[in-house]
């Protein structure tokens, strides 16, 4: 593993941000900073972006060693994570999530914030487990779930903390499709190349019009 938990490289006009902390891909402050640095690079040189996790683990969510330090510590970390989710949700070019395994809590919110989500078959868990572990889901999670999940699954996923298999995650709306694990990198790159063919200014303007109301509600919650 490199010194940073996120490796970024450009393949033609597609940026690939590979998140691998060598463990469960917890969203520590170090990881959040590294992901934002990768997004900075993608804004400079990419017409589409792929966000991929380590084999078997897309992201286990926030770093629990920080979240357990108290209400203020948890609140501060949630705000930083919410800003990352908002940045992905409003990113100026298309974003493809290559869900390489488990995606729990904030990890699943990263999926909801991306435009196209490709997962893999296997014994993986995807979903919002906050209510089951005694944590009220923050507004950023509720709003992204309302926007991206199937209406039939919003209550089950948000209020009942249902955890899905990859195939169930497609039905719920966390993922768009699942494929064989060994095809993930190539398929995600192919999807990003396809989306890079869109007119970037038109894509960004339309995304903003489509999602601005949700963004405004999330931002308002962060100031309260």
pLDDT in 10s for each residue of the chain, 224 residues:
458 999 999 999 999 999 999 999 999 999 999 999 999 999 999 999 999 999 999 999 999 899 989 999 999 999 999 999 999 999 999 999 999 999 999 999 999 999 999 999 999 999 999 999 999 999 999 999 999 999 999 999 999 999 999 999 999 999 999 999 999 999 999 999 999 999 999 999 999 999 999 999 999 999 88
Q: Is 135 exposed, middle or buried (0-12, 13-18, 19+ CB in 10 A)?
A: middle
Domain ranges of the chain: 6-223
If phi over 0 gives left and psi between -120 and 50 gives alpha, with beta otherwise, what is residue 4?
Answer: beta
Query: By three-state DSSP, how is residue 205 classified?
Result: helix
CB 143 within 8 A of CB 83: no
pTM over 0.85: yes
Pairing mode, strands 61-62 and 126-127? unpaired
Residue 131's Cβ-count burial label (10 Å; 0-12, 13-18, 19+) is middle
How confident is the prediction for the chain on average, in pLDDT? 96
Which candidate, 47, 17, 14, 44, places its Cα nearest to that of 32? 17
**Per-residue model confidence (pLDDT) at position 2:** 59
6-223: CATH topology: 2-enoyl-CoA Hydratase; Chain A, domain 1 (3.90.226)
């Amino acid at each position: 593993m490199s010194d940073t938990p996120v490796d970024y490289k450009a393949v033609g006009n597609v940026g690939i941000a590979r998140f691998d902390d060598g463990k469960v891909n917890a969203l520590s402050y170090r990881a959040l900073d590294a992901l934002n640095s990768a997004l900075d690079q993608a804004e400079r040189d990419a017409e589409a972006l792929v966000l991929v996790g380590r084999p078997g683990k897309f992201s286990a969510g926030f770093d629990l060693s920080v979240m357990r330090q108290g209400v203020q510590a948890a609140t501060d970390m949630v705000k930083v994570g919410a800003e990352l989710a908002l940045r992905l949700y409003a990113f100026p070019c298309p974003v493809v999530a290559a869900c390489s395994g488990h995606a729990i809590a904030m990890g699943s919110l990263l999926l909801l914030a991306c435009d196209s989500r490709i997962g893999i078959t296997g014994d993986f868990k995807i979903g919002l487990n906050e209510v089951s572990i005694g944590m009220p889901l923050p507004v950023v999670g509720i709003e992204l779930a309302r926007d991206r999940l199937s209406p039939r699954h919003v209550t089950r996923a948000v209020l009942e903390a249902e955890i899905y298999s990859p195939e169930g995650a497609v039905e719920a709306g966390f993922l768009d499709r699942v494929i064989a694990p060994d095809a993930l990198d190539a398929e995600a790159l192919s999807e990003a190349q396809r989306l890079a063919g869109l007119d970037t200014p038109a894509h960004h303007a339309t995304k903003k019009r489509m999602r601005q109301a949700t963004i405004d509600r999330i931002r308002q919650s962060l100031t309260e």
